[in-house]
Amino acid sequence: MVANLQNLTRLSLENTAVDDKMIRPVSEVESLVTLNVTNTRVTADSFASLSQLPFLESVYAWNTETTPAALDEVRTALAPVKIIGGATLSLPPPEPGVNEVMEEPIDAAIDE
């Protein structure tokens, strides 16, 4: 379906199960300017096909299955495209109670 969107300029696939096989059709969207594959299973192999995109300016690739060394190689191969990404992001655990569901209706909590 993505390959048919020939006027697509920005594509955000972040936080999805997309992998190298699933991202192949993206290389057919010649109008693409920005691609976000943060938190996906994409590897450096996927980026080679993006070099054919004439308008591509930025790729966000944090926390993918691409090693930092491979990402550096991609930066060189795709220059002047900006490859924004690097090491795996580590987020601290949530504070206790932050994600708890309220037991009582919100109105009752406000009245107290």
- Is residue 105 very low, low, confident or very high in pLDDT (cuts 50, 70, 90)? low
- What's the distance, CA 26 to chain centroid? 13
**At 32, which CATH number?**
3.80.10.10
Query: Where are the strands (E) in 1-112, listed by range?
Result: 10-12, 34-36, 58-60, 82-84
Task: Quote the pLDDT of residue 92.
Answer: 47
Q: Rounded mean pLDDT of the chain?
A: 81
Residue 34 lies in a domain: yes
- What's the distance, CA 2 to chain centroid? 15
Residue 82 lies in a domain: yes
Residue 109 lies in a domain: no
Residue with tokens 């220059």: 79
pTM of this structure: 0.73
Structural domains in the chain (count): 1
What are the pLDDT digits (tens) for 18-31? 999 999 889 889 99
- Domain of 41 in residue numbering reads as 2-88
Residue 81 lies in a domain: yes
Kindly give, in sequence order, each residue whose CB lies less than 8 Å from that of residue 108, ignoring residues fewer than 6 positions away.
none
Given a cut of 70, whether residue 50 has pLDDT beyond it is yes
Residues 58 and 34: beta-carbon distance below 8 Å: yes
What are the pLDDT digits (tens) for 73-90? 988 988 899 999 875 544
Given a cut of 90, whether residue 60 has pLDDT beyond it is yes
